[in-house]
Amino acid sequence: MDFLNALVMLTNFIIIPATTYGAQLALGALGVTLIYSILRFSNFAHGDTMALGTVVTIGITALFQSWGITLGPLPTALLALPFAIIVTSLVMIGTDQVVYKFYRAKKAAPIVFVMASLGVMFMTNGVIRFLAGVKDINFTDGERFLIQARAFKEWSGLDQPLALRTTQALTVVVAVIVVAWLFWFLNRTRTGKSMRAYSDNEDLALLSGINPNRVVMVTWLIVGILTTTAGVLYGLDKSYSPFTYFQLLLPTFAAAIVGGLGSPLGAIAGGFVVAYSEVVVTYVWRAVAGYVLPDSLQPEGLLQLLSTDYKIAVSFTILVIVLLFKPTGIFKGQSV
């Protein structure tokens, strides 16, 4: 019984939140990795693009709600998501035309792109603050729980509750669909193949008649889908605020680099590595130990490795370890 209780606790406080967070990070990291392999720079505006997509979704959701359109048990934001994706992708393609295209034509150094993306990041940040202010916004509606804590306790007869929120299940389902679609697109369609060819060897791709402008545009489009979805899922699961989205940048980068920059599979693995490390390291293990360990071995402290204030340090430490020992990441991305 104790063991079961411990298992339920682990599921409730570690496996469910970390898997959800990992799926969100994976989607974000996929975007970073795509931009890196096609456009060849680290996009610092990524976190704020996620925020922009979320803000647009929040606006459209509010509009739908005012018209009385909802999705019943599911969040209305899901219905608004496709529209927000279109808006965000258009904004990104527009930004590319106005900002990045110029440097691409000039074949500028990657660091110049990074700098420009920093400028874009702050402008986007200004725009989202203008549109939605700086406060936390919670835009989840519909059924809150799939499994309710109380119902689970009654059903199982255990001391520990288990709750599964709709948004958590939704995150994983949507993420799986998007990732499956992305891999199908990259591996099976002509456009996807030309993107991979362009990423592997730009000159050869150009020689074989691949249109670089088209590749770049499709990339931004896909990145628009990935960032908006990641941002909306994160916002549904937690809540939206410009500052937390800005701070998502570091874990997202860490995830992409851990997996190996330029490797889509790596980005997904990296997302889960970062998310699980963050949750495991900042979790208070005392109660779990209480179930598993014999009385004589009971710990006195909280058994928390790191306070939650240092969450960001976890992704950073992972990043440093990878840079020191394996700069190409787990899946041998492009590096150095």
Partner 1 sequence: MSQSNRVIFYFALVAILFLLEGLTNFWIFTGSWDTSVSILNMALVSAVMALGVNLQWGYAGLFNVGIMGFTALGGLAVVITSMQPVGEAWEAGGARVLAGLLIGALTIGLTIMLRTKLPKGNARAVFTIVVLVGGFFIYRSVFDPGVEAIEAVNPSVAGYLGGLGLPVLLSWPVGGLLAAGAAWIIGKTALGLRSDYLAIATLGIAEIIVAVIKNEGWLSRGAKNVNGLPRPVPNPVDLQADPAFIEAAANFGLGPVEASTLYIKLGYALLFTAVLVIVLILAQLARHSPWGRMMRAIRDNETAARAMGKNVTARHLQIFILGSAICGIAGAMMTTLDGQLVPTTYNPLRFTFLIWVMVIVGGSGNNIGSLLGAFLIWWLYVKVEPMGQWLAQISTAGLDPNNWFAVRMTDAAPHMRLFTMGLILLLVLRFNPRGLVPEK
Per the CB < 8 A criterion, the answer to whether 110 and 123 are in contact is no
* Shortest Cβ 50–partner 1 spacing (Å): 16
25 binds partner 1 (CB under 8 A): no
Per CB under 8 A, contacts with partner 1 among 132-171 are: 133-134
* Shortest Cβ 83–partner 1 spacing (Å): 19
229 binds partner 1 (CB under 8 A): no
Per the CB < 8 A criterion, the answer to whether 142 and 73 are in contact is yes
The number of CA neighbours under 13 Å toward the Cβ of 102 is 8
- Joined tokens for residue 152: 């689970």
What is d(CA 240, CA 139) in angstroms, rounded to the nearest whole number? 8
* Shortest Cβ 48–partner 1 spacing (Å): 10
Q: Is the dihedral of CA 195, 196, 199, 203 positive or negative?
A: negative
What is d(CA 162, CA 150) in angstroms, rounded to the nearest whole number? 8
* Shortest Cβ 85–partner 1 spacing (Å): 24
Q: Count of residues binding partner 1 (CB under 8 A)? A: 50
* Contacting residue, 71, 79, 127, 137, with partner 1 by CB under 8 A: 127
Q: x-or-dash pattern for partner 1, window 66-95, by CB under 8 A?
A: ------------------------------
* Shortest Cβ 287–partner 1 spacing (Å): 19
* Shortest Cβ 123–partner 1 spacing (Å): 4
CB-based burial, 121-138: b 16+ in 10 Å, e otherwise:
beebbeebeeebeeeebe
* Shortest Cβ 1–partner 1 spacing (Å): 29
What is d(CA 267, CA 271) in angstroms, rounded to the nearest whole number? 6
* Contacting residue, 69, 129, 208, 293, with partner 1 by CB under 8 A: 129
118 binds partner 1 (CB under 8 A): yes
Per CB under 8 A, contacts with partner 1 among 247-306 are: 247, 249-250, 253-254, 257, 301, 305
* Contacting residue, 73, 102, 155, 201, with partner 1 by CB under 8 A: 102
CB contact set of 28 (below 8 Å; sequence gap of 6+): 46, 47, 50, 226, 227, 230, 248, 252, 255, 271
The DSSP secondary structure of 138-168, one letter per residue, reads ----S--EEE-HHHHHHHH--SS---EEHHH
326 binds partner 1 (CB under 8 A): no
* Contacting residue, 63, 69, 90, 131, with partner 1 by CB under 8 A: 131
Residue labelled with tokens 């000039």: 106
What is d(CA 74, CA 137) in angstroms, rounded to the nearest whole number? 18
Per the CB < 8 A criterion, the answer to whether 27 and 178 are in contact is yes
Per CB under 8 A, contacts with partner 1 among 38-67 are: 41-42, 44
* Shortest Cβ 13–partner 1 spacing (Å): 21
Q: Which stretch binds partner 1 (CB under 8 A): 73-81, 107-115, 192-200, 221-229?
A: 107-115
The residue ranges that bind partner 1 (CB under 8 A) are: 41-42, 44, 99, 102, 109-112, 114-116, 118-127, 129-131, 133-134, 246-247, 249-250, 253-254, 257, 301, 305, 307, 309-310, 312-313, 315-316, 319-320, 323-324, 327, 335-336
